[in-house]
Amino acid sequence: MPIGVGAMLAGGVYLLWDSYLTKSKAKPSPPAWTQIEEYVRLPLACLGGPLFVVSLFWLGWTARADIHWIVPTLSALPFGLGFLLIFMGELNYLVDAYEVYAASAMGAASCVRSVFGVVLPFAAKPMYDRLGVAWACSLLGVLSLLMSLIPFVFIRYGDRIRAGSKFCQELKELKVQKEQEREEQARWKQGDGSGVQQHRIEDPAKQV
């Protein structure tokens, strides 16, 4: 139940952020950050990462017989909130960054996530047996803390990272080509319209 409540809260946070983003883009002079994929989607993941870490330490150090069961159970609240914010932020970032190649990017991400989801549970029981609940959760918390830096790294260096991707380079070339085609069409329409206007001026009898 706390995970579900956290997920619903994450949905509310997402809607608030999306509303703020839409209003920012609708301004007469939109801020520059609204055109940068990293600044549009990854702030949600930046918020979710620390919440995820807090939930792991909270669970690890309150799951004891001398503490009421509701206390460690409530650690699932920031867990659900943080997990969904990370998930939504990073998946939306993949879609925005890779556009027509988004299906392939999401497929690769799902494949890696599934592989770790299959392999890591085999280490869970030995890890908790040897380290105990507190230190095992703390180990996961430290690893999650390191991984929570990833969205911040992408915000800082994401444009450089994408510049080294052949898929993103192809997307950039396609965007340039489409922009050139739009400019040519706009010039052609302006030229055609001026020609029609000149024809009407030179031949008023046909207008009548």
Reported as a pLDDT band with limits 50, 70 and 90, residue 120 is confident
With beta carbons less than 8 A apart as the criterion, state whether 86 and 49 touch: yes
Kindly tell me if the per-residue pLDDT of 170 is higher than 80.
no
Domain ranges within the chain, ordered by starting residue: 2-163, 166-208
Domain 2-163 top-level CATH class = mainly alpha
pLDDT in tens, 51-95: 999 999 999 999 988 999 999 999 999 999 999 999 988 888 888
Reported as a pLDDT band with limits 50, 70 and 90, residue 198 is very low
Residue reference for tokens 């909270």 = 58
- Element holding 127 (H helix, E strand): helix 102-147
Averaged confidence pLDDT in the chain? 84
CB-CB neighbours of 80 under 10 Å: 22
Reported as a pLDDT band with limits 50, 70 and 90, residue 31 is confident
Q: Which two tokens stand for residue 173?
A: 């070339």
Report the pLDDT value the prediction gives residue 30, as an integer from 0 to 100: 84
| 117-142 burial: b if 16+ Cβ within 10 Å, else e | eeeeeeeeeebeeeeeeeebbbebbe
Kindly tell me if the per-residue pLDDT of 119 is higher than 70.
yes
Give 21's contacts (C-beta < 8 A, 6+ positions apart): 34, 40
Kindly tell me if the per-residue pLDDT of 3 is higher than 70.
yes
